Structure 1
Amino acid sequence: MTDFDYGPIEFYAIAFDGDRPGPAVLKAVDDLVASGTVMNLLDLVFARRSPEGEVEVLEMSDTIENDAHPALDLAGLAGEDDILALVDDLEPGRSAAILVVELLWAKAFASRLFEAGGAVIAREGVPAPIVNAFLAEYAD
Structure 2
Amino acid sequence: MTEVVDAMLQALGNLEFVVVRLDDDHLSRNLLEALLRQVESGGLRLVDVLVLRRTDDGRAELTEIDRDDFALAGLGLDLPGLICEDDAHHFASAIAAGSCAALLLVEPTWVERLSHDIDHREDRVLATQSIPAPVANASLALALRRL
- With the length of structure 1 as denominator, give the TM-score of the two structures: 0.71
1:30 Cα deviation from its structure 2 partner: 1.3
Q: Which amino acid aligns with 1:88?
A: S
Q: 1:15 is paired with a residue of what secondary structure? A: strand
How many residues align? The count is: 132
1:39 Cα deviation from its structure 2 partner: 0.5
1:47/1:7 Cα in 2 relative to 1: closer, same or farther (>3 Å)? same
1:6 Cα deviation from its structure 2 partner: 1.9
Unaligned runs of 5+ in 1: none
Alignment partner of 1:47 is 2:52: yes
Alignment partner of 1:126 is 2:117: no
| Pick aligned residue for 1:76 from 55, 77, 81 | 81
| Pick aligned residue for 1:104 from 109, 112, 128 | 109
Q: 1:101 is paired with a residue of what secondary structure? A: strand
CA contact (8 A) 1:50 1:92 kept: yes
Q: Distance in 2 between matches of 1:66 and 1:108?
A: 25
Decide which structure has greater helix share.
Answer: 2
Alignment partner of 1:9 is 2:9: no
CA contact (8 A) 1:21 1:95 kept: no
Q: Distance in 2 between matches of 1:40 and 1:66?
A: 14
1:126 Cα deviation from its structure 2 partner: 2.8
Q: Distance in 2 between matches of 1:101 and 1:124?
A: 13
Q: 2:61 is paired with a residue of what secondary structure? A: strand
Q: Distance in 2 between matches of 1:7 and 1:58?
A: 26
1:59 Cα deviation from its structure 2 partner: 2.4
Q: Identify the residue that residue 25 of structure 1 maps to in structure 2.
A: 31
Q: Identify the residue that residue 99 of structure 2 maps to in structure 1.
A: 94
Unaligned runs of 5+ in 2: 1-9
Cα RMSD between the aligned structures?
A: 3.6
1:87 Cα deviation from its structure 2 partner: 1.8
